[in-house]
Amino acid sequence: MTWVVILAVAAVVFGVMAAVQKMPRAGWEVTGAALLFGLAGYAIQGHPGAPGAPKAPVEDQRTADAELLRQRQAMGAKFGQGQSWLVVSDALSRAGQFRAAADFLGEAVRRNPGDADLWVALGNALTGHTDGTITPAAEFAFRRAAAIDPNHPGPPFFMGMALAQSGHLNEAREVWAGLLARSPKDAPYRLDLAEKLARLDQLIAMSSGQAPNGAAPMPPAASAPEAPAAAPTGR
């Protein structure tokens, strides 16, 4: 049956070229020879009976950071009521299905527009889908979550992380520094946030040419002044 289909396709191609595209009669032999050459190549190299070998999508090869999911779950434990949506979206993210998680969460926020946790999770899924690069859609999700609940630590925490991963170090520092300044002293995420902020400061210092502790880089050592040339002696 495979050969019947192949020969039928070849005949249709030849017919279209000859009748529809008005191929000159002088080119019929060349075109027919080319089609027969292709059929001969398939007869030699083709293996229609061989089993398929599907490959996993590239996105499936990246999985969500388990620590990032844990942090989001901890920060959102007492905020919002969308836990049933988050269970499914977290499972998709763990499997690397960030696009599916984002689509699922898009429906979730449509039905629950006032749930800050769902907006945070959507921002994370969108960032994961772009391999850590923050997009306008992800930034909108984080800002929407912050507008819903200004006291929720998740939006600035994860938006700062996405900004840092995207190379926007100064913007990330501004977001994280603001969160640290208004965080309670006993907040469970405070120590982790302070450590991330300290590492970010080091990256900013190195990228600006400063020493990691904030000190200005040492200027190059000045060369010693040349000794004055000896005055010529008179005779």
**Tokens at residue 158, please?**
């994860």
What per-residue string of b and e applies to 41-78 under the rule 16 or more CB within 10 Å gives b?
Answer: eeeeeeeeeeeeeeeeeebeebebeeeebebbbebbee
Find tokens 């292709």 and name the residue: 38
Q: pLDDT at position 218, please?
A: 37
DSSP alpha helix (H) spans, 16-82: 28-45, 66-75
pLDDT at 213: 46
Distance CA 2, CA 11 (A): 14
Q: What is the pLDDT of residue 232?
A: 42
Helix/strand/coil percentages in the chain, nearest 5: 65, 0, 35
- With H, G, I as helix, E, B as strand and everything else as coil, classify residue 132: coil
pLDDT of the residue at 137? 96
**The overall pTM is greater than 0.75:** no
pLDDT of residue 60: 47
Which conformational region is residue 80 in: left (phi greater than 0), alpha (psi within -120 to 50 degrees), or beta? left
The amino acid that residue 132 corresponds to is G
Coil vs helix vs strand at 215: coil
Residues of the chain with pLDDT under 70: 1-7, 9-10, 12-14, 16-81, 209-235
Question: Contact, 71 vs 157, CB < 8 A?
Answer: yes
Two structure tokens written together for 68: 């990032």
Domain ranges of the chain: 2-42, 61-207
Other CB atoms within a 10 A radius of the CB of residue 171 amount to 15
The CATH class that applies to domain 61-207 reads mainly alpha
The confidence score (pLDDT) of residue 230 equals 43
| Torsion angle (degrees, nearest 10) of CA 188, 191, 196, 202 | 170
DSSP state of 212: T
pLDDT for 224 = 38
Task: Report helix, strand or coil for 98.
Answer: helix
What is the structure's pLDDT at 207?
Answer: 83
Inter-residue contact 101 to 60 (CB < 8 Å): no
pLDDT at 16: 64
